[in-house]
């Protein structure tokens, strides 16, 4: 509902005041009366009104003077002059001085109400306009405040921020970016991104994000090595209002400390595994000496205990080897040495190594070679692959199982298959078994010691050879791992 319009009637004649009050109140106006100019002005000092009805001829202070004062102090309040026929010239004069209108006594009711209505409307419009203006000013202020707040936040961030436009020019950056990239000179913006970013991978990522080909690519994350520090850069597209890519936003984070910690962890694991390997290998060897009867005859019970002990030692050694391999891969010391390799011999060596162990748990190892020739491989790494796959096949098969290694050379491929008649892997687990530390949680395999690293190491080695590994399995029946390695075409 609109606010009630408040009218101040200033007249020395009580009849007029009362008359005005009655008519205006009947027409839903709020009415205040003053007997003279002074009273009116002192009321206005205290409270605002919307319209003033002002008599010209009054004692103490005549209407003209009151008009001058109100117009000076309250120029927004419309003043309607009440005038008799005698003072009509003065009323016209008052109009020139800013009065809104005048009405003559005796009042004609329609005329009177219409004039008051028009003055009220003018007042209401003016108030509305002023309100809009104030809102506008406030909005502008808020906007400026928001902008400067955003700027402050970006400038205070510990992460570096860099925004590029369609032309691969930097249009926004923060002090953290300068610090992380070790830039000390002032940078004009916009400036070509190649001016400060030297890392080819990051430049390629920014280009990719912008190019049509990669549309839909959400973000590219990569590590950048500087002289002293290592940074993580996450770059994402910046979209315009029509959802087209208008540039890129990159956030840089210093991960040097994290990397250092990670390297320390790998070193620590490596060191512990190393320290454990020699004494455990020694214990295993002594165990074997006992089992072979070289330190005197054994009872059946003693043989059984020693065999069980050796099984556990073998599993422990597997774990240690996994940890050593992993640490090697993580510290990126792993180098591949490809040489002419007799793959058949490699497989046979691993089988010989594991034969005793397989026999101990009642598993027979078989092999089938077809059309094998020497191939270009890293013999040590491929031996690890076969060792891991065979160890798994033995570990995850019940007594009486058969493990078969098949190898053959196809056109430009070497195929190695390791099959077992073991517990199998549920289909839902297959996508996860190559993950680091992942082990299937099954009651049947719980007693097998392991790190969950073996297959992730296997996958890493095969991928480094540009090969693939696939697995097929039927729970309760058995599993087959199939490795394909590309062979260089011989002339």
- Please identify which residue in 19, 344, 452, 486 interacts with ligand ADP, judged by CB under 6 A: 452
Would you count residue 78 as binding ligand ADP (CB under 6 A)?
A: no
**Shortest distance in whole angstroms from residue 408 CB to Mg ion:** 25
**Shortest distance in whole angstroms from residue 442 CB to ligand ADP:** 7
**Shortest distance in whole angstroms from residue 424 CB to Mg ion:** 15
Which span sits near ligand ADP by CB under 6 A: 39-47, 256-264, 439-447, 462-470?
A: 439-447
The partner in contact with residue 445, picked from Mg ion, ligand ADP, none with C-beta cut-offs of 5 to 8 angstroms by kind, is ligand ADP
Q: Which C-beta is closer to Mg ion: that of 450 or that of 486?
A: 450
- Please identify which residue in 170, 455, 461, 485 interacts with ligand ADP, judged by CB under 6 A: 455
Which span sits near Mg ion by CB under 5 A: 79-87, 209-217, 450-458, 459-467?
A: 450-458
Contact positions with ligand ADP (CB under 6 A) in 382-411: 388, 392-393, 396
**Shortest distance in whole angstroms from residue 475 CB to ligand ADP:** 9
Count CA atoms closer than 13 A to 404's CA, side-chain side: 11
Which residue bears the tokens 């693939």? Answer: 468
Q: Which C-beta is closer to Mg ion: that of 424 or that of 454?
A: 454
Which span sits near ligand ADP by CB under 6 A: 150-158, 302-310, 325-333, 432-440?
A: 432-440
Would you count residue 454 as binding Mg ion (CB under 5 A)?
A: yes
**Shortest distance in whole angstroms from residue 396 CB to ligand ADP:** 3
The partner in contact with residue 35, picked from Mg ion, ligand ADP, none with C-beta cut-offs of 5 to 8 angstroms by kind, is none
Would you count residue 478 as binding Mg ion (CB under 5 A)?
A: no
**Shortest distance in whole angstroms from residue 329 CB to ligand ADP:** 13
280, two tokens: 């455990």
Would you count residue 460 as binding Mg ion (CB under 5 A)?
A: no
Which residue bears the tokens 């075409």? Answer: 489
Q: Closest-CB residue for Mg ion?
A: 454
Would you count residue 456 as binding Mg ion (CB under 5 A)?
A: no
- Please identify which residue in 220, 425, 461, 485 interacts with ligand ADP, judged by CB under 6 A: 425
**Shortest distance in whole angstroms from residue 389 CB to ligand ADP:** 7
Would you count residue 439 as binding ligand ADP (CB under 6 A)?
A: yes
- Please identify which residue in 83, 164, 341, 392 interacts with Mg ion, judged by CB under 5 A: 392
- Please identify which residue in 31, 461, 479, 483 interacts with ligand ADP, judged by CB under 6 A: 479
- Nearest Cα to Cα of residue 343 among 365, 366, 374, 387: 374
Q: Which C-beta is closer to Mg ion: that of 309 or that of 452?
A: 452
Q: Which C-beta is closer to Mg ion: that of 250 or that of 392?
A: 392
Which span sits near ligand ADP by CB under 6 A: 172-180, 254-262, 363-371, 448-456?
A: 448-456
- Ramachandran quadrant class, 158 (left: phi over 0; alpha: psi -120 to 50; beta: rest): alpha
Would you count residue 325 as binding ligand ADP (CB under 6 A)?
A: no
Interface contacts to ligand ADP, rule CB under 6 A: 388, 392-393, 396, 420, 422-425, 433, 438-440, 445, 450-456, 479
């Amino acid at each position: 509902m609109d606010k009630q319009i408040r009218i101040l009637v200033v007249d020395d004649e009580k009849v007029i005041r009362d008359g005005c009050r009655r008519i205006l109140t009947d027409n839903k106006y709020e009415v205040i009366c003053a007997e003279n100019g002074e009273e009116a002005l002192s009321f206005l000092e205290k409270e605002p009104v919307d319209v003033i009805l002002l008599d010209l001829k009054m004692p103490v202070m005549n209407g003209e003077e009151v008009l001058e004062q109100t117009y000076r102090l309250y120029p927004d309040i419309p003043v309607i002059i009440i005038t008799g026929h005698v003072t009509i010239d003065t009323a016209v004069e008052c109009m020139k001085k800013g009065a809104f209108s005048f009405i003559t006594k005796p009042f004609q009711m329609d005329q009177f109400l219409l004039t008051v209505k028009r003055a009220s409307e003018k007042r209401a419009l003016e108030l509305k306009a002023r309100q809009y203006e104030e809102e506008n000013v406030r909005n502008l202020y808020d906007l400026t405040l928001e902008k400067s707040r955003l700027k402050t936040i970006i400038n205070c961030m510990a992460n570096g921020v860099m925004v590029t436009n369609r032309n691969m020019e930097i249009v926004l950056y923060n002090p953290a970016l300068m610090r992380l990239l070790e830039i000390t000179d002032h940078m004009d913006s916009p400036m070509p991104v190649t001016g400060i970013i030297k890392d080819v991978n990051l430049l390629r990522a920014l280009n990719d994000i912008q190019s049509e080909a990669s549309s839909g690519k959400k973000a590219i994350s990569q590590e950048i090595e500087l002289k002293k520090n290592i940074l993580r850069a996450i770059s994402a597209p910046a979209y315009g209002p029509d959802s087209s890519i208008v540039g890129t936003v990159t956030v840089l984070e210093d991960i040097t400390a994290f990397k250092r910690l990670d390297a320390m962890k790998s070193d620590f694991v490596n060191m512990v595994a190393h320290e454990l390997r020699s004494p455990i290998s020694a214990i295993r060897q002594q165990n074997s000496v006992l089992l072979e009867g070289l330190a005197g005859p054994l009872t059946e019970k003693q043989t059984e205990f020693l065999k069980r002990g050796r099984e556990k030692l073998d599993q422990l050694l597997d774990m240690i080897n996994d940890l050593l391999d992993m640490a090697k891969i993580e510290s990126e010391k792993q180098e591949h040495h490809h040489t002419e390799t007799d793959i058949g011999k490699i497989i046979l060596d691993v089988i010989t190594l594991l034969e005793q162990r397989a026999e101990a748990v009642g598993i027979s190892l078989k092999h089938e070679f077809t059309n094998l020739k020497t191939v270009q491989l890293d013999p040590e790494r491929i031996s690890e692959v076969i060792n891991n796959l065979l160890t798994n096949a033995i570990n995850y098969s019940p007594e009486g199982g058969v493990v078969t290694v098949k190898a053959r050379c196809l056109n430009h491929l070497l195929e190695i298959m390791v099959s077992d008649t073991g517990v199998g892997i549920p289909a839902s687990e297959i996508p996860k078994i190559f993950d680091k530390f992942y082990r299937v949680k099954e009651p049947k395999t719980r007693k097998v010691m392991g790190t969950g690293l073996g297959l992730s190491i296997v996958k890493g080695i095969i991928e480094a050879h540009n090969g693939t590994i696939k697995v097929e399995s039927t729970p309760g029946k058995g599993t087959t791992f199939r490795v394909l390695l590309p062979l260089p075409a011989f002339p």
